[in-house]
Amino acid sequence: MKIVVLKFGGTSVGTVERIRKVANIITSYIKKRYKVIVVSSAMSGVTNDLIKKSKKLSNNFNLSEYDVLVSSGEQMSCALISGRLNHIGYKSQSWMGWQIPILTEGSHSSSRIVKIYKKRIINFLENGGIPVIAGFQGINLDRRITTLGRGGSDASAIMIAQFFKAEKCIIYTDVEGVYTTDPRMIRDSKKIKVISYEEMLEMSSLGAKVMQPISIQDARLNRIDINVKSSFKNKTGTLITKRKNIFRNKIITGISFTKNDAKVSLVGVKDKPGVAASIFKPLSENSINVDMVVQNISANGKETDLTFTIKSDDIKKTEKLLKNNKKIKFRDLLINKNVSKISIIGVGMITTPGVTYRMFQALAEKLINIQVISTSEIKISVLINKKYTQKAVAILHKEFKLNN
């Protein structure tokens, strides 16, 4: 059976007119003799509206009921898509996670899919049906609805493609693919035809909004090729695949940036074994993600200055945890939220010397000061003043010839 999984994002199903267009895209694959499994997000704005309602009712809304609430948006969009397909002469049915079932494990609002029972969907496909499956949700061993967190519908599509051994997994969204950087900021950014899982994972975790990191990680682990395409324009998108499928002469593939980071500096920390663990353990226990850690030891070896970055939303919680931490001593706590993280990403830098120098020199020539540096095998990130974000991205985009 030749199966294709088509996933449609919130903007793609955001209006009745767009759902009509989505139905036409689905039937175009039927005409190519594919068996189609559709995965849908909630209509754009619906989930956010449900979250706002929960916050008005409670500051600590029960997580199990939260999952029941926010998963209902997908139920609506799936029924609308299926209803349209039936109207134009195709056999279709909507399926919620619990009806299949899609089994998950983990905490409410951040569960992971561990098993998909295929029998009912396979029977429906073999009888000419088009199943429209709600993304973002499943059911746990307690028979309670669970959700998969941000980017959950993409994760649903990727795991469905893996379990059903689909030939293709296509993510339809409101953009034509993955770009070298945000096209809203840099007009001459270019669409990337092919990108590796590793590069896409770095780009998405460092600010690119096309897909969420957890979805890319699932695709990488299960070796599922993903096509990212626009549901509004019939154009070739971006293929996300393994490195050995890529032939490219560019050193850098793309540039990502964030504007929601904050720099935290602990000045004059008493240096002793285990002090770093004592600082970061409470942050970890409170789900505060730490990045770009830099430590400077004093000349006498008795004190250290420790700098790291967090998300701006976590500033108050982080400040409170550090000040109340009896296991550490420091002279001052400095927090700066007027920063931006700029990252260049590319597997080409593994075998190319001088990339770091070119990045730093290009920024220095335009008098942009680097505050913190973080590197990996295929990524270099720097922290700069937020007001220089667009200027820095434009400089690096030109330096590495991404506009060609």
**Residue listed under structure tokens 């590319």:** 346
Please answer whether residues 188 and 403 qualify as being in contact, where contact means their C-beta atoms are separated by less than 8 angstroms.
yes
Task: Sort 288 into a burial class: Cβ within 10 Å, 0-12 / 13-18 / 19+.
Answer: middle
Averaged pLDDT, 209-227:
87
| pLDDT tens per residue across span 115-134 | 999 999 999 999 999 999 99
247, pLDDT greater than 90: no
CA distances from residue 166 to 6, 35, 36, 103, 295 in whole angstroms, order as listed: 10, 9, 9, 19, 47
CA 382 to chain centre: 20
Would strands 332-345 and 379-385 be described as parallel, antiparallel, or unpaired? antiparallel
Averaged pLDDT, 187-203:
92
Question: Which DSSP string corresponds to 195-229?
Answer: EEHHHHHHHHHTT--SS-HHHHHHHHHHT--EEEE
* φ and ψ of 158, to 5 deg: -65, -45
CA dist., res. 237 & res. 211, Å (int): 14
| CA–CA–CA angle 359, 364, 366 (5° rounding) | 110
Mean pLDDT of the chain: 93
pLDDT at 296: 81
pLDDT at 157: 96
Provide the pLDDT confidence category of residue 302 given band limits of 50, 70 and 90: confident
Helices (H) and strands (E) in the chain, counts: 12, 18
214, pLDDT greater than 90: no
Averaged pLDDT, 229-233:
92
Token couple for 102: 């899609």
CA dist., res. 267 & res. 279, Å (int): 13
| pLDDT tens per residue across span 63-115 | 999 999 999 999 999 999 999 999 999 999 999 999 999 999 999 999 999 99
| pLDDT tens per residue across span 326-353 | 989 899 999 999 999 999 999 888 888 9
CA distances from residue 345 to 197, 317, 340, 401 in whole angstroms, order as listed: 12, 31, 16, 13
| pLDDT tens per residue across span 2-13 | 999 999 999 999
pLDDT at 341: 95
- For residue 50, give the 3-state DSSP assignment: helix
Fold of the domain built from segment(s) 3-174: Carbamate kinase (3.40.1160)
pLDDT at 271: 79
pLDDT at 309: 95
Q: At what angle do helices 72-87 and 63-70 cross, to 10 degrees?
A: 20
Percent of the chain with pLDDT over 70: 99
pLDDT at 273: 85
Would strands 332-345 and 303-311 be described as parallel, antiparallel, or unpaired? unpaired
CA dist., res. 201 & res. 185, Å (int): 21
Provide the pLDDT confidence category of residue 300 given band limits of 50, 70 and 90: low
Percent of the chain with pLDDT over 90: 75
Element (H, E) at 340: strand 332-345
CA dist., res. 168 & res. 165, Å (int): 9
299, pLDDT greater than 70: no
Please compute, for residue 281, the number of CA atoms within 13 A of its CA located in the half-sphere on the CB side: 9
* φ and ψ of 10, to 5 deg: -60, -40
| pLDDT tens per residue across span 11-57 | 999 999 999 999 999 999 999 999 999 999 999 999 999 999 999 99
Please answer whether residues 38 and 26 qualify as being in contact, where contact means their C-beta atoms are separated by less than 8 angstroms.
yes
Question: Which DSSP string corresponds to 282-336?
Answer: HHHHTT---EEEEEEE-TTSSEEEEEEEEEGGGHHHHHHHHHT-TT---SEEEEE
Residue type, position 244, single letter: K
Would strands 130-134 and 35-40 be described as parallel, antiparallel, or unpaired? parallel
| pLDDT tens per residue across span 258-271 | 988 999 999 999 87
